[in-house]
């Protein structure tokens, strides 16, 4: 089975709220993680990544947190906007396993104006 999964399949928020999307992974050897955003009818778009030697990484309005103790990854979106509505996927990679990105099922984020 897949080693990456999501706690919540859907998330609805109001515009301006902060959003938190969660992801669990089961492979303790995974050392690189990526969050992708996929809008309807489009391909996944890279948002942010993090290596296993980090706990937190920030981008523009997004923050990824990694808790290796409980094998948990989260994506925080600040001041969520309607344009953030999409499916969000986490993916993991074991550095020694070339080309072996494993994707979770995805969380649907809906932002209400």
Partner 1 sequence: NAGVTQTPKFQVLKTGQSMTLQCAQDMNHNSMYWYRQDPGMGLRLIYYSASEGTTDKGEVPNGYNVSRLNKREFSLRLESAAPSQTSVYFCASSDWGILNTDTQYFGPGTRLTVL
We find the least distance from the C-beta atom of residue 48 to partner 1, in angstroms, to be 10
Q: How many CA atoms lie within 13 A of 75 on its CB side?
A: 32
* Cβ-proximal residues to 35 (8 Å cutoff; 6+ apart), any chain: 21, 47, 48, 49, 62, 64, 73, 75, 88, 89, 90, 91
Q: Which is nearer to partner 1, 78 or 87 (CB)?
A: 87
Q: Which two tokens stand for residue 40?
A: 């309807």
Distance separating alpha carbons of residues 56 and 63, to the nearest angstrom: 7
**Total residues binding partner 1 (CB under 8 A):** 24
Stretch that binds partner 1, among 11-19, 55-63, 78-86, 99-107 (CB under 8 A): 99-107
We find the least distance from the C-beta atom of residue 21 to partner 1, in angstroms, to be 14
What x/- string results for residues 42 through 81 when contact with partner 1 is judged by CB under 8 A? xxxxx--x-x------------------------------
Distance separating alpha carbons of residues 76 and 61, to the nearest angstrom: 8
Residues contributing to the site for partner 1 (CB under 8 A): 2, 4, 32, 34, 36, 41-46, 49, 51, 89, 93, 95, 98-101, 103-106
């Amino acid at each position: 089975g897949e080693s990456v999964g999501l706690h919540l399949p859907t998330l609805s928020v109001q515009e301006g709220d902060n959003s938190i999307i969660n992801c669990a992974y089961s492979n303790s050897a995974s050392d690189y993680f990526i969050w992708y955003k996929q809008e309807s009818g489009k391909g996944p778009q890279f948002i942010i990544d993090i290596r296993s030697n980090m706990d937190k990484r920030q981008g523009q309005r997004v923050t990824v947190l990694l808790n290796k103790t409980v094998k948990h990854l989260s994506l925080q979106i600040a001041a969520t906007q309607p344009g953030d509505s999409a499916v969000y996927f986490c993916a993991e990679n074991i550095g020694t396993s070339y080309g072996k990105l494993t994707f979770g099922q995805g969380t649907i984020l809906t932002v209400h104006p």
